[in-house]
Amino acid sequence: MIELIPILVAVAVCYFFYLMTYAQSSIPRWRTIKMFNKLPGPEAPFFVGSAFELMRLELHDILSWMKERFDAHGGSYALWMMGNPIYLTADPEVAEVILTSTKNINKGTDYQSLEHWLHDGLLLSTGEKWKQRRKMLTPSFHFKILDNSTDCMNKNWKKVVHKFLESKGVVEPLPIMGRGALDIICETAMGTELGETDERSKEYVRAVKRANEVSVVRMLSPFMRSSLLFSFTSMSRQHNKDVQILHEFTEKVITKRREEFEDEKRVEASEYSEADEKKRQVFLDSLLELSEKENMSSTDIREEVDTFMFAGHDTTSTGLQYLLMHLGENPEVQEKAYQEQVEIFGYSDRDVTKDDLSKMHYLDQVIKESMRLHPPAPQIARELSEDAPLPNGLVIPSQTKIVLNIFNLHRNPKYWSDPDAFKPERFSLEESKNRHPYSYIPFSAGPRNCIGQKFAMLEMKIGASTILRSCKISSVTKSSDLKYKMLIVLQPSTPIKVEISPRN
């Protein structure tokens, strides 16, 4: 018994800091504990659960650890984590119940490690604030505004192709495409063009990667969840520097655009043209207008800009790096996708138009299959404010945290035959019509789905078309050899590499 005292003290201290930092309002009620303990799951000590087991894992081992348990428990399981009831699922039927709820929209404590960076923007906010912001910002992604973004996307993806071909051989596509996607989001959504030699953008992209990783390390460690304990670490000092880089970058973007916005308003008073209207229709302009109408502060604006700058470039470039790997691994798919482009464009390198996009049926299937296997956002979470009855008769009690693992949901063998194989034909009209609507959710679904998903698909299709028409891709990295870091955005544990050669 004496030997157990140090362990019990360590657990008590850990839980104390956890409560002080995260769980003041979510200590499980006795009702929640009784109902939760009826849910099936792996054997683990009550209260502590799998906390210390997870702490010992490397980031690239977590997905396989979760998959083993999904396979053993039919796609969903319950476990305790330092006094927190957690229900993990890769089941579309459970996903539908959770994601269609208009009440269970709180993202939960996992995302609080992002607050220092993103504060209370659309990704993290909840309740009335989230509802009001979502309603205010949705018009910023209207089809007309998306149409006005195609010129910028064409221009910047051509720059990416030029850099690929300049590299002459094996390249890591992510840094090049990350810069291209950042240029696009800055220009189309923020109304700001970055200079070709702007070192701030490279620094910004690197800081995003580090901040992403730190956030997940904190999610997984009961000790690091405590802001007090985290503040004593070297990781905290680097994280503070990264957040400063990220905030300074967005502050400069906002300041520059605010000055231009005020100038354009003065010009509008005397001269008006369709060209002026087109130029003004960017996401940041909407925020600046709302700041006057809805009493949004400078901090409110920055937290939304931080959110969209991060989500608008990192997810797209990440999705495209996996797409290039799949095209390189599957030359017959690449050739079929290329021939579709030839049918639309001939051998021209002209810009992609809206009409062209509507003809890219096979490329659309290829992109969707790539995002099935490699969803840029591999996991999302909710914290239940009310009970969630499931189709199988089980009830998940309120106060439970739901971890919806999209990566494994997209590979659930009950809904996908040969789930690890790359088969774009899965997304033909014939094969898609009877599929469960929540078996494929790369942009989440329901009320809190990704507000920028149409923008992302538009950008990915223009990017893929531009690259395919100019570049022949061979994959150096094999998908079967990859391990993945369980981050906010899905990253391989080692960089993906492809070989690029000119087509014509």
Residues ≥6 apart with Cβ < 8 Å to 295: none
Residues ≥6 apart with Cβ < 8 Å to 210: 238, 239, 242
Task: State pLDDT tens for residues 464-493.
Answer: 999 999 999 999 999 999 999 878 899 998
Burial class (CB in 10 A: 0-12, 13-18, 19+), 332: exposed
Alpha-carbon span 390 to 405, nearest angstrom: 17
**pLDDT for residue 14 is more than 60:** no
Complete domains list, the chain, with CATH: 93-385+414-502 (1.10.630.10)
Residue 25: band (very low, low, confident or very high) from pLDDT cuts 50, 70, 90: very low
Query: What local confidence, expressed as pLDDT, does residue 225 receive?
Result: 77
Antiparallel, parallel or unpaired: β 84-89 and 401-405? parallel
Alpha-carbon span 280 to 482, nearest angstrom: 43
**pLDDT for residue 299 is more than 60:** yes
Poorest-pLDDT segment among 201-205, 266-270, 392-396: 266-270
What average pLDDT does the segment 362-389 reach? 96
Expressed in angstroms, the distance from the first to the final Cα of the chain is: 75
Query: What local confidence, expressed as pLDDT, does residue 22 receive?
Result: 47
Q: Phi and psi at residue 373, in whole multiples of 5°?
A: -75, -30
Q: Count helices and strands (H / E) in the chain.
A: 22, 11
Residue 4: band (very low, low, confident or very high) from pLDDT cuts 50, 70, 90: low
Poorest-pLDDT segment among 120-129, 189-198, 269-278, 358-367: 269-278
Task: State pLDDT tens for residues 110-153.
Answer: 788 888 898 888 888 888 888 888 888 888 777 666 778 899 99
Query: What local confidence, expressed as pLDDT, does residue 270 receive?
Result: 58
Q: Regarding predicted confidence, which is higher, 271 or 311?
A: 311
Residue 450 counted as an annotated binding residue: yes
Q: Phi and psi at residue 75, in whole multiples of 5°?
A: 100, -10
Burial class (CB in 10 A: 0-12, 13-18, 19+), 112: middle
User: Please, what is the Cα angle at 404 between 431 and 38, to 5 degrees?
Assistant: 115
Task: Please report, as a single letter, which amino acid is at residue 44.
Answer: A
Q: How far is CA 267 from CA 148, 259, 270, 292, 378, in A?
A: 21, 13, 6, 19, 46
| Other C-beta atoms lying within 10 Å of the C-beta of residue 149 | 20
Task: State pLDDT tens for residues 378-420.
Answer: 999 999 999 999 999 999 999 999 999 999 999 999 999 999 9
- Beta bridge pairs of residue 78: 87
Query: What local confidence, expressed as pLDDT, does residue 26 receive?
Result: 63
Q: Report DSSP state, residue 398.
A: T
Residues ≥6 apart with Cβ < 8 Å to 76: 40, 70, 87, 88, 89, 90, 91, 94
Contact by Cβ (8 Å): 18, 82: yes
Structure tokens at 368: 């969707």
Query: What local confidence, expressed as pLDDT, does residue 99 receive?
Result: 97
Contact by Cβ (8 Å): 284, 305: yes
| Other C-beta atoms lying within 10 Å of the C-beta of residue 9 | 10
Helix (H) or strand (E) holding 203: helix 199-220
**pLDDT for residue 107 is more than 70:** yes
Radius of gyration over every alpha carbon of the chain, rounded to an integer in angstroms: 23
Alpha-carbon span 325 to 474, nearest angstrom: 8
